[in-house]
A and B are shown apart, each in its own frame.
Chain A
Protein backbone atom coordinates (compact mmCIF):
# COMPACT_ATOMS: atom_id res chain seq x y z
CA UNK A 1 0.00 0.00 0.00
CA UNK A 2 1.70 3.25 -1.07
CA UNK A 3 1.95 6.07 1.48
CA UNK A 4 -0.55 8.85 0.90
CA UNK A 5 0.24 12.44 0.08
CA UNK A 6 -0.84 14.99 2.69
CA UNK A 7 -4.31 16.49 2.04
CA UNK A 8 -3.04 20.08 1.95
CA UNK A 9 -0.15 19.15 -0.33
CA UNK A 10 -2.61 17.49 -2.72
CA UNK A 11 -4.75 20.61 -2.74
CA UNK A 12 -1.82 22.95 -3.36
CA UNK A 13 -0.47 20.68 -6.06
CA UNK A 14 -3.78 20.70 -7.91
CA UNK A 15 -4.16 24.45 -7.44
CA UNK A 16 -0.72 25.31 -8.79
CA UNK A 17 -1.24 22.82 -11.61
CA UNK A 18 -4.52 24.48 -12.62
CA UNK A 19 -3.20 28.02 -12.28
CA UNK A 20 0.23 27.72 -13.83
CA UNK A 21 -0.20 28.34 -17.55
CA UNK A 22 -3.87 29.37 -17.40
CA UNK A 23 -3.00 32.42 -15.35
CA UNK A 24 -0.66 33.76 -18.00
CA UNK A 25 -2.88 33.24 -21.00
CA UNK A 26 -6.11 33.88 -19.09
CA UNK A 27 -9.45 32.83 -20.51
CA UNK A 28 -9.33 32.98 -24.31
CA UNK A 29 -10.46 36.43 -25.41
CA UNK A 30 -13.01 35.14 -27.89
CA UNK A 31 -15.75 37.17 -26.23
CA UNK A 32 -15.55 40.67 -24.73
CA UNK A 33 -16.42 39.54 -21.20
CA UNK A 34 -13.77 36.85 -20.99
CA UNK A 35 -13.48 37.14 -17.21
CA UNK A 36 -16.98 35.68 -16.89
CA UNK A 37 -15.98 32.60 -18.91
CA UNK A 38 -13.96 31.13 -16.03
CA UNK A 39 -16.86 31.46 -13.61
CA UNK A 40 -19.34 29.83 -15.98
CA UNK A 41 -16.90 27.06 -16.95
CA UNK A 42 -16.54 26.11 -13.29
CA UNK A 43 -20.04 24.56 -13.07
CA UNK A 44 -19.80 22.07 -15.96
CA UNK A 45 -16.17 21.39 -14.95
CA UNK A 46 -17.50 20.03 -11.66
CA UNK A 47 -19.23 17.32 -13.69
CA UNK A 48 -15.78 16.12 -14.70
CA UNK A 49 -14.99 15.59 -11.00
CA UNK A 50 -18.17 13.53 -10.71
CA UNK A 51 -17.19 11.46 -13.74
CA UNK A 52 -13.63 10.85 -12.60
CA UNK A 53 -14.67 10.02 -9.05
CA UNK A 54 -17.33 7.60 -10.30
CA UNK A 55 -14.67 5.95 -12.42
CA UNK A 56 -12.29 5.62 -9.48
CA UNK A 57 -14.86 4.41 -6.98
CA UNK A 58 -16.13 1.73 -9.35
CA UNK A 59 -12.92 -0.29 -8.90
CA UNK A 60 -11.28 0.22 -5.51
CA UNK A 61 -9.57 3.53 -6.25
CA UNK A 62 -7.10 2.16 -8.76
CA UNK A 63 -5.17 4.62 -10.88
CA UNK A 64 -6.14 5.56 -14.43
CA UNK A 65 -3.91 3.00 -16.12
CA UNK A 66 -5.07 -0.11 -14.18
CA UNK A 67 -8.65 1.07 -14.68
CA UNK A 68 -8.15 1.27 -18.43
CA UNK A 69 -6.76 -2.25 -18.45
CA UNK A 70 -9.61 -3.57 -16.34
CA UNK A 71 -12.26 -1.91 -18.47
CA UNK A 72 -10.90 -2.44 -21.98
CA UNK A 73 -8.93 -5.65 -21.53
CA UNK A 74 -5.18 -6.17 -21.69
CA UNK A 75 -4.48 -5.30 -25.34
CA UNK A 76 -6.78 -2.32 -25.89
CA UNK A 77 -6.10 -1.13 -22.34
CA UNK A 78 -2.36 -1.07 -23.04
CA UNK A 79 -2.97 0.83 -26.26
CA UNK A 80 -4.96 3.42 -24.32
CA UNK A 81 -2.16 3.67 -21.75
CA UNK A 82 0.27 4.46 -24.57
CA UNK A 83 -2.14 7.02 -26.01
CA UNK A 84 -2.52 8.72 -22.63
CA UNK A 85 1.25 8.68 -22.05
CA UNK A 86 1.78 10.33 -25.44
CA UNK A 87 -0.98 12.85 -24.67
CA UNK A 88 0.60 13.78 -21.33
CA UNK A 89 4.02 14.14 -22.93
CA UNK A 90 2.55 16.28 -25.71
CA UNK A 91 0.84 18.59 -23.21
CA UNK A 92 4.12 18.84 -21.28
CA UNK A 93 5.86 19.79 -24.54
CA UNK A 94 3.24 22.48 -25.23
CA UNK A 95 3.67 23.88 -21.73
CA UNK A 96 7.45 24.01 -22.12
CA UNK A 97 6.92 25.87 -25.40
CA UNK A 98 4.60 28.34 -23.65
CA UNK A 99 7.25 29.08 -21.09
CA UNK A 100 10.06 29.32 -23.63
CA UNK A 101 8.00 31.75 -25.76
CA UNK A 102 7.47 33.96 -22.74
CA UNK A 103 11.06 33.79 -21.52
CA UNK A 104 12.32 34.55 -25.04
CA UNK A 105 10.07 37.57 -25.32
CA UNK A 106 11.00 39.20 -22.00
CA UNK A 107 14.14 37.86 -20.38
CA UNK A 108 16.59 35.89 -22.51
CA UNK A 109 16.13 37.27 -26.00
CA UNK A 110 19.31 35.99 -27.62
CA UNK A 111 19.85 32.73 -25.72
CA UNK A 112 19.43 29.77 -28.11
CA UNK A 113 16.10 28.00 -27.65
CA UNK A 114 17.56 24.44 -27.51
CA UNK A 115 19.91 25.58 -24.75
CA UNK A 116 17.08 27.02 -22.67
CA UNK A 117 14.86 24.02 -23.32
CA UNK A 118 17.54 21.48 -22.42
CA UNK A 119 18.36 23.16 -19.13
CA UNK A 120 14.70 23.49 -18.26
CA UNK A 121 13.83 19.87 -19.05
CA UNK A 122 16.66 18.64 -16.85
CA UNK A 123 15.13 20.52 -13.93
CA UNK A 124 11.72 19.04 -14.78
CA UNK A 125 13.18 15.53 -14.94
CA UNK A 126 14.93 16.00 -11.61
CA UNK A 127 11.65 17.20 -10.10
CA UNK A 128 9.74 14.22 -11.52
CA UNK A 129 12.43 11.83 -10.32
CA UNK A 130 11.34 12.43 -6.72
CA UNK A 131 7.88 11.06 -7.42
CA UNK A 132 4.51 12.52 -6.58
CA UNK A 133 5.39 13.11 -2.90
CA UNK A 134 8.31 15.36 -3.79
CA UNK A 135 6.25 17.21 -6.40
CA UNK A 136 3.47 17.77 -3.84
CA UNK A 137 5.86 19.20 -1.27
CA UNK A 138 7.39 21.41 -3.95
CA UNK A 139 3.89 22.64 -4.88
CA UNK A 140 3.09 23.78 -1.36
CA UNK A 141 6.29 25.80 -1.38
CA UNK A 142 5.70 27.54 -4.69
CA UNK A 143 1.99 28.20 -4.19
CA UNK A 144 2.83 30.87 -1.63
CA UNK A 145 5.38 32.43 -3.97
CA UNK A 146 2.82 32.55 -6.79
CA UNK A 147 0.05 33.96 -4.60
CA UNK A 148 2.37 36.54 -3.09
CA UNK A 149 3.52 37.67 -6.52
CA UNK A 150 -0.03 37.91 -7.82
CA UNK A 151 -1.12 39.93 -4.78
CA UNK A 152 1.90 42.22 -5.22
CA UNK A 153 0.99 42.67 -8.87
CA UNK A 154 -2.60 43.63 -8.04
CA UNK A 155 -1.54 46.09 -5.34
CA UNK A 156 1.13 47.70 -7.54
CA UNK A 157 -1.31 48.04 -10.42
CA UNK A 158 -3.76 49.72 -8.07
CA UNK A 159 -1.13 52.16 -6.77
CA UNK A 160 0.07 53.01 -10.25
CA UNK A 161 -3.49 54.01 -11.20
CA UNK A 162 -3.58 51.49 -14.03
CA UNK A 163 -6.88 49.95 -13.00
CA UNK A 164 -9.73 51.79 -14.68
CA UNK A 165 -13.16 50.40 -13.91
CA UNK A 166 -14.72 51.80 -17.10
CA UNK A 167 -12.50 49.48 -19.15
CA UNK A 168 -14.82 46.56 -18.47
CA UNK A 169 -17.73 48.30 -20.22
CA UNK A 170 -19.78 47.50 -22.25
CA UNK A 171 -20.76 44.62 -19.99
CA UNK A 172 -22.26 41.62 -21.82
CA UNK A 173 -22.56 43.60 -25.05
CA UNK A 174 -23.25 40.44 -27.05
CA UNK A 175 -25.36 38.77 -24.38
CA UNK A 176 -24.63 35.81 -22.15
CA UNK A 177 -24.80 33.06 -24.81
CA UNK A 178 -21.34 33.66 -26.42
CA UNK A 179 -19.79 33.59 -22.95
CA UNK A 180 -21.48 30.25 -22.18
CA UNK A 181 -20.40 28.87 -25.57
CA UNK A 182 -16.76 29.86 -24.98
CA UNK A 183 -16.88 28.30 -21.52
CA UNK A 184 -18.08 25.00 -22.97
CA UNK A 185 -15.75 25.08 -25.97
CA UNK A 186 -12.55 26.08 -24.20
CA UNK A 187 -12.31 26.73 -20.49
CA UNK A 188 -13.73 23.40 -19.30
CA UNK A 189 -10.98 21.50 -21.09
CA UNK A 190 -8.18 23.90 -20.28
CA UNK A 191 -7.33 24.14 -17.42
CA UNK A 192 -10.06 22.20 -15.57
CA UNK A 193 -10.11 19.05 -17.72
CA UNK A 194 -6.37 18.58 -17.45
CA UNK A 195 -7.00 17.43 -13.88
CA UNK A 196 -7.43 13.96 -15.42
CA UNK A 197 -3.68 13.52 -15.03
CA UNK A 198 -4.19 13.19 -11.26
CA UNK A 199 -6.18 10.00 -11.81
CA UNK A 200 -2.87 8.33 -12.56
CA UNK A 201 -1.65 8.99 -9.00
CA UNK A 202 -4.83 8.16 -7.12
CA UNK A 203 -3.35 5.27 -5.13
CA UNK A 204 -0.97 7.84 -3.60
CA UNK A 205 -3.48 10.69 -3.45
CA UNK A 206 -6.22 8.93 -1.52
CA UNK A 207 -8.83 7.74 -4.01
CA UNK A 208 -12.26 8.94 -5.06
CA UNK A 209 -13.52 10.16 -1.70
CA UNK A 210 -10.54 12.42 -1.15
CA UNK A 211 -10.35 13.53 -4.78
CA UNK A 212 -13.97 14.67 -4.78
CA UNK A 213 -13.38 17.04 -1.90
CA UNK A 214 -9.87 18.25 -2.69
CA UNK A 215 -10.41 18.76 -6.41
CA UNK A 216 -13.66 20.62 -5.79
CA UNK A 217 -11.90 23.07 -3.46
CA UNK A 218 -9.03 23.38 -5.95
CA UNK A 219 -11.54 24.16 -8.73
CA UNK A 220 -13.31 26.80 -6.58
CA UNK A 221 -10.03 28.50 -5.68
CA UNK A 222 -8.80 28.36 -9.29
CA UNK A 223 -12.08 29.82 -10.51
CA UNK A 224 -11.79 32.74 -8.08
CA UNK A 225 -8.12 33.46 -8.82
CA UNK A 226 -8.45 33.07 -12.60
CA UNK A 227 -11.52 35.30 -12.75
CA UNK A 228 -9.78 37.91 -10.59
CA UNK A 229 -6.68 37.93 -12.80
CA UNK A 230 -8.84 38.03 -15.94
CA UNK A 231 -10.70 40.97 -14.48
CA UNK A 232 -7.42 42.72 -13.64
CA UNK A 233 -6.31 42.19 -17.25
CA UNK A 234 -9.54 43.68 -18.61
CA UNK A 235 -9.47 46.61 -16.17
CA UNK A 236 -5.87 47.51 -17.01
CA UNK A 237 -5.60 46.74 -20.72
CA UNK A 238 -9.18 47.19 -21.83
CA UNK A 239 -11.28 44.70 -23.76
CA UNK A 240 -9.73 45.40 -27.18
CA UNK A 241 -6.07 45.36 -26.07
CA UNK A 242 -6.59 42.16 -24.10
CA UNK A 243 -8.07 40.52 -27.17
CA UNK A 244 -4.86 41.01 -29.16
CA UNK A 245 -2.42 40.37 -26.36
CA UNK A 246 -0.74 36.96 -26.25
CA UNK A 247 0.48 37.26 -22.65
CA UNK A 248 -2.19 39.56 -21.23
CA UNK A 249 -1.04 39.42 -17.61
CA UNK A 250 2.49 40.25 -18.71
CA UNK A 251 1.27 43.29 -20.64
CA UNK A 252 -0.74 44.34 -17.60
CA UNK A 253 2.37 44.04 -15.40
CA UNK A 254 4.27 46.28 -17.80
CA UNK A 255 1.88 49.10 -16.96
CA UNK A 256 3.09 49.27 -13.37
CA UNK A 257 4.78 52.58 -12.76
CA UNK A 258 4.98 54.09 -9.32
CA UNK A 259 6.73 57.47 -9.39
CA UNK A 260 9.08 56.20 -12.11
CA UNK A 261 10.84 54.10 -9.47
CA UNK A 262 8.96 50.82 -9.42
CA UNK A 263 8.64 49.87 -13.08
CA UNK A 264 9.09 46.85 -15.36
CA UNK A 265 7.62 44.31 -12.97
CA UNK A 266 7.17 41.75 -15.74
CA UNK A 267 9.94 39.66 -14.17
CA UNK A 268 7.38 38.72 -11.51
CA UNK A 269 5.21 37.18 -14.20
CA UNK A 270 8.17 35.35 -15.67
CA UNK A 271 8.87 33.81 -12.27
CA UNK A 272 5.22 32.78 -11.85
CA UNK A 273 5.17 30.99 -15.19
CA UNK A 274 8.58 29.39 -14.61
CA UNK A 275 7.57 27.89 -11.29
CA UNK A 276 4.10 26.96 -12.49
CA UNK A 277 5.29 25.35 -15.71
CA UNK A 278 8.00 23.48 -13.86
CA UNK A 279 5.44 21.86 -11.59
CA UNK A 280 2.87 21.23 -14.30
CA UNK A 281 5.40 19.66 -16.65
CA UNK A 282 6.82 17.55 -13.82
CA UNK A 283 3.34 16.17 -13.15
CA UNK A 284 2.68 15.44 -16.82
CA UNK A 285 6.12 13.93 -17.24
CA UNK A 286 5.68 11.71 -14.20
CA UNK A 287 2.31 10.52 -15.50
CA UNK A 288 3.91 9.69 -18.85
CA UNK A 289 6.77 7.91 -17.05
CA UNK A 290 4.31 5.78 -15.06
CA UNK A 291 2.42 4.89 -18.25
CA UNK A 292 5.47 3.91 -20.28
CA UNK A 293 6.96 1.96 -17.37
CA UNK A 294 3.70 0.04 -16.99
CA UNK A 295 3.88 -1.09 -20.60
CA UNK A 296 7.60 -1.75 -20.85
CA UNK A 297 8.06 -3.19 -17.33
CA UNK A 298 10.72 -0.97 -15.83
CA UNK A 299 10.84 1.55 -13.00
CA UNK A 300 9.26 4.94 -13.86
CA UNK A 301 12.48 6.69 -12.77
CA UNK A 302 14.40 4.94 -15.55
CA UNK A 303 12.49 6.97 -18.12
CA UNK A 304 12.73 10.37 -16.40
CA UNK A 305 15.60 12.04 -18.26
CA UNK A 306 14.97 10.42 -21.65
CA UNK A 307 11.28 11.35 -21.69
CA UNK A 308 12.07 14.86 -20.43
CA UNK A 309 14.57 15.29 -23.24
CA UNK A 310 11.97 14.08 -25.74
CA UNK A 311 9.45 16.57 -24.33
CA UNK A 312 12.05 19.30 -24.80
CA UNK A 313 12.71 18.30 -28.41
CA UNK A 314 8.96 18.11 -29.11
CA UNK A 315 8.47 21.55 -27.60
CA UNK A 316 10.66 22.92 -30.39
CA UNK A 317 9.01 20.85 -33.12
CA UNK A 318 5.43 21.12 -31.87
CA UNK A 319 4.65 24.30 -33.79
CA UNK A 320 6.54 26.51 -36.18
CA UNK A 321 5.58 29.87 -34.71
CA UNK A 322 3.67 31.50 -31.90
CA UNK A 323 0.52 32.18 -33.95
CA UNK A 324 0.25 28.54 -35.01
CA UNK A 325 0.87 27.48 -31.41
CA UNK A 326 -2.06 29.54 -30.11
CA UNK A 327 -4.43 28.55 -32.96
CA UNK A 328 -3.59 24.88 -32.55
CA UNK A 329 -4.07 25.06 -28.79
CA UNK A 330 -7.37 26.93 -28.89
CA UNK A 331 -8.98 25.05 -31.74
CA UNK A 332 -7.56 21.71 -32.78
CA UNK A 333 -6.09 20.33 -29.57
CA UNK A 334 -9.40 20.79 -27.79
CA UNK A 335 -11.47 18.85 -30.33
CA UNK A 336 -8.95 16.17 -31.23
CA UNK A 337 -7.30 15.52 -27.87
CA UNK A 338 -8.92 17.18 -24.87
CA UNK A 339 -12.55 16.23 -25.48
CA UNK A 340 -11.88 12.60 -26.47
CA UNK A 341 -9.31 11.91 -23.76
CA UNK A 342 -10.78 13.99 -20.95
CA UNK A 343 -14.44 13.14 -21.50
CA UNK A 344 -15.22 10.41 -24.03
CA UNK A 345 -12.68 7.74 -23.05
CA UNK A 346 -13.28 8.15 -19.26
CA UNK A 347 -17.04 8.07 -19.87
CA UNK A 348 -16.81 4.89 -21.95
CA UNK A 349 -14.42 3.39 -19.39
CA UNK A 350 -16.90 4.11 -16.61
CA UNK A 351 -19.74 2.51 -18.58
CA UNK A 352 -17.60 -0.55 -19.33
CA UNK A 353 -16.52 -0.85 -15.70
CA UNK A 354 -20.13 -0.63 -14.54
CA UNK A 355 -21.20 -3.30 -17.04
CA UNK A 356 -18.28 -5.68 -16.49
CA UNK A 357 -18.07 -5.37 -12.72
CA UNK A 358 -21.71 -4.83 -11.80
CA UNK A 359 -22.83 -6.46 -8.56
CA UNK A 360 -22.88 -10.21 -8.86
CA UNK A 361 -21.02 -10.32 -12.18
CA UNK A 362 -18.02 -12.61 -12.24
CA UNK A 363 -15.97 -11.12 -15.13
Chain B
Protein backbone atom coordinates (compact mmCIF):
# COMPACT_ATOMS: atom_id res chain seq x y z
CA UNK B 1 0.00 0.00 0.00
CA UNK B 2 2.94 2.35 0.58
CA UNK B 3 4.10 2.01 -3.02
CA UNK B 4 0.54 2.52 -4.23
CA UNK B 5 0.21 5.63 -2.06
CA UNK B 6 3.43 7.09 -3.44
CA UNK B 7 2.35 6.25 -6.99
CA UNK B 8 -1.06 7.92 -6.55
CA UNK B 9 0.51 11.07 -5.07
CA UNK B 10 3.08 11.15 -7.89
CA UNK B 11 0.38 10.98 -10.56
CA UNK B 12 -1.77 13.58 -8.82
CA UNK B 13 1.19 15.93 -8.40
CA UNK B 14 2.11 15.59 -12.07
CA UNK B 15 -1.48 16.35 -13.02
CA UNK B 16 -1.49 19.40 -10.75
CA UNK B 17 1.77 20.73 -12.13
CA UNK B 18 0.62 20.10 -15.71
CA UNK B 19 -2.56 22.06 -15.01
CA UNK B 20 -0.55 25.04 -13.75
CA UNK B 21 1.90 24.82 -16.68
CA UNK B 22 -1.06 24.70 -19.04
CA UNK B 23 -2.28 28.00 -17.61
CA UNK B 24 1.18 29.59 -17.66
CA UNK B 25 2.22 28.54 -21.17
CA UNK B 26 -1.27 28.46 -22.73
CA UNK B 27 -0.61 25.05 -24.29
CA UNK B 28 -2.70 21.86 -24.45
CA UNK B 29 -2.82 19.81 -21.25
CA UNK B 30 -1.38 16.65 -22.77
CA UNK B 31 1.56 18.50 -24.27
CA UNK B 32 2.61 20.12 -20.99
CA UNK B 33 2.06 16.83 -19.16
CA UNK B 34 4.48 15.05 -21.49
CA UNK B 35 6.95 17.94 -21.17
CA UNK B 36 6.85 17.57 -17.40
CA UNK B 37 7.72 13.89 -17.35
CA UNK B 38 11.37 13.23 -16.55
CA UNK B 39 12.90 11.62 -19.64
CA UNK B 40 16.37 10.53 -20.69
CA UNK B 41 18.66 13.59 -20.49
CA UNK B 42 17.16 14.56 -17.14
CA UNK B 43 18.66 11.55 -15.38
CA UNK B 44 18.97 13.15 -11.94
CA UNK B 45 15.21 13.59 -11.53
CA UNK B 46 14.62 10.05 -12.79
CA UNK B 47 16.99 8.78 -10.12
CA UNK B 48 15.18 10.79 -7.47
CA UNK B 49 11.86 9.20 -8.43
CA UNK B 50 13.48 5.76 -8.47
CA UNK B 51 14.95 6.36 -5.02
CA UNK B 52 11.53 7.48 -3.73
CA UNK B 53 9.92 4.27 -4.95
CA UNK B 54 12.84 2.17 -3.75
CA UNK B 55 12.48 3.64 -0.27
CA UNK B 56 8.74 3.02 -0.36
CA UNK B 57 9.41 -0.62 -1.34
CA UNK B 58 12.02 -0.93 1.42
CA UNK B 59 9.45 0.11 4.05
CA UNK B 60 6.62 -1.86 2.42
CA UNK B 61 8.53 -5.15 2.53
CA UNK B 62 10.05 -4.48 5.97
CA UNK B 63 13.59 -4.82 4.67
CA UNK B 64 15.15 -3.46 7.86
CA UNK B 65 13.44 -6.14 9.97
CA UNK B 66 14.29 -8.87 7.45
CA UNK B 67 17.96 -7.89 7.39
CA UNK B 68 18.03 -7.69 11.17
CA UNK B 69 16.50 -11.12 11.40
CA UNK B 70 18.89 -12.56 8.84
CA UNK B 71 22.11 -11.06 10.14
CA UNK B 72 21.05 -10.85 13.80
CA UNK B 73 21.88 -7.18 14.33
CA UNK B 74 20.12 -7.08 17.68
CA UNK B 75 21.92 -10.07 19.17
CA UNK B 76 25.36 -8.87 18.18
CA UNK B 77 24.62 -5.49 19.77
CA UNK B 78 23.56 -7.17 22.99
CA UNK B 79 26.65 -9.33 22.95
CA UNK B 80 28.94 -6.38 22.50
CA UNK B 81 27.06 -4.58 25.27
CA UNK B 82 27.53 -7.57 27.55
CA UNK B 83 31.22 -7.71 26.72
CA UNK B 84 31.55 -4.01 27.49
CA UNK B 85 29.78 -4.48 30.80
CA UNK B 86 32.04 -7.39 31.66
CA UNK B 87 35.14 -5.30 30.88
CA UNK B 88 33.92 -2.42 33.04
CA UNK B 89 33.21 -4.67 36.00
Contact = CB atoms under 8 A, between A and B. Distances in A.
Interface in B1-50: 1-2, 4-6, 8-10, 12-13, 16-17, 19-20, 23-24, 36, 38, 44-45, 47-49
B63 interface: no
A305 interface: yes
A87 B16 CA distance: 8
B16 A306 contact: no
Most buried by B among A86, A90, A295: A86
Contact of B51 (A298, A309, A317): A309
Q: How would you classify the secondary structure of chain B's contact residues: helix, strand, loop or mixed?
A: helix
Contacts of A327: 24
Contacts of B59: 302, 305-306
Given A86-B9, A90-B13, A310-B13, A112 B44 contact: yes
A324 interface: yes
A105 B4 CA distance: 37
Given A297-B1, A306-B59, A307-B6, A317 B38 contact: yes
Size category of the binding interface on chain A = 35 or more
Contacts of B53: 306
Contacts of B16: 86-87, 90, 337
Interface residues of B, number: 30
Nearest to B6: A306
B5 A292 contact: yes
A114 B44 contact: yes
Contacts of B12: 82-83, 86
A336 B36 contact: no
Contact of B2 (A302, A310, A316, A332): A302
Given A297-B1, A306-B55, A312 B9 contact: no
A85 B56 CA distance: 17
Interface in A262-308: 288, 292-293, 295-298, 302-303, 305-307
Nearest to A296: B5
B20 A333 contact: yes
A303 B45 contact: no
A89 B9 CA distance: 9
Contacts of A166: none
Contacts of B17: 90, 314, 317-318
A243 B51 CA distance: 40
A296 B2 contact: yes
A292 B45 contact: no
A114 B48 contact: yes
A89 B5 contact: no
A240 interface: no
Contact of B19 (A113, A310, A314, A336): A336
A295 B53 CA distance: 18
A303 to B, nearest CB: 6
B47 to A, nearest CB: 8
Contacts of B2: 296, 298, 302-303, 306
A257 interface: no
18 contacts: A86-B9, A87-B16, A292-B5, A292-B6, A292-B8, A296-B8, A298-B2, A303-B2, A303-B5, A305-B52, A306-B6, A306-B52, A306-B53, A310-B52, A316-B44, A316-B48, A333-B20, A337-B16
